[in-house]
Amino acid sequence: MTSSSNCAHEVLAVLAKDLRSEYRTRYALSAVLLFAVTALAVVSFSVSPYSLEADAQSAFLWIVLFFSAMSGLSRSFVREEEARTAMALRLAAAPEAVYLGKLLFNITLQGAVAIVVVPLFLVLMDIAPAHPGLLVWAAVLGTLALASSSTIIAAVVSRANAKGALFAVLAFPVTLPGLSSAIRATTAALQGAVGRVGTAGDLRALAAYSVLMIATSLLLFDFVWND
């Protein structure tokens, strides 16, 4: 009982530390948000809002969300290595607590990006989603999937040499199952009744993917972190 509450305490401490340092520098948030807004703007003023089909629109939304995750989510671990604070963190907290803290931080960051990007996307592309509730579910579960796969990859990348270039290369094949489910669920949400068949399966696949990623990461994180 005490050990589990102690662990939860450590997780929250790591999360609070990351949130505080992010609040002070606002490096990751501004980089990710500006990237996402730039990408949205580029497409929306080169494509007329009515010319894209629902599947192209949802693919476009998730490309923006995926690459904005790629530009910012590795910061949580890379910063520890660059500032040489990783050793202190290793001494201060259990590996599982570090992983869960960073995961919560990445979920928060990616969630903040999604909260800005999804409405902006709907406004710029002039879309009235057929199933707003479904769109919210797809965005929430997709964000969870992106954050859960990229946290462990970020930990791996932070221990390698070519950090920036490697992150997207490593994350893409691992993230693809989650990403393609998210794209299909979003297409169904934008399209309406036609695309609704099997969407519950897509959302379930997304949730299963996140759970699988988090469980595997918890088992493997120690090997990445303490080596």
Q: Under the rule (CB under 8 A), what is the footprint of other proteins? A: 55, 152-153, 156, 159-162, 166, 169-170, 172-174, 176-177, 180-181, 184, 198, 201-202, 205, 208-209, 212-213, 216-217, 220, 223-224, 227
CB of 197 to other proteins, least distance (A): 11
Q: Which is nearer to other proteins, 88 or 169 (by Cβ)?
A: 169
Q: Which is nearer to other proteins, 112 or 177 (by Cβ)?
A: 177
CB of 154 to other proteins, least distance (A): 12
- Nearest CA to 105 out of 136, 79, 135 is that of 79
Q: Which is nearer to other proteins, 116 or 172 (by Cβ)?
A: 172
Residue 200 backbone phi and psi in degrees, to 5? -60, -40
Residue 183 backbone phi and psi in degrees, to 5? -65, -40
Q: Which is nearer to other proteins, 16 or 165 (by Cβ)?
A: 165
Alpha carbon distance 77, 90 (integer Å): 12
CB of 155 to other proteins, least distance (A): 9
CA-derived radius of gyration, the chain: 18
Q: Which is nearer to other proteins, 49 or 164 (by Cβ)?
A: 164
CB burial class (10 A; 0-12, 13-18, 19+) of residue 132? exposed
- Strand ranges for the chain from DSSP E: none
CB of 160 to other proteins, least distance (A): 5
* Inter-residue contact 104 to 11 (CB < 8 Å): yes
CB of 172 to other proteins, least distance (A): 7
Alpha carbon distance 25, 62 (integer Å): 27
Q: Kindly tell me the sign of the dihedral angle through the C-alpha atoms of 103, 189, 205, 150.
A: negative
CB of 178 to other proteins, least distance (A): 8
Alpha carbon distance 143, 115 (integer Å): 10
Q: Which is nearer to other proteins, 102 or 184 (by Cβ)?
A: 184
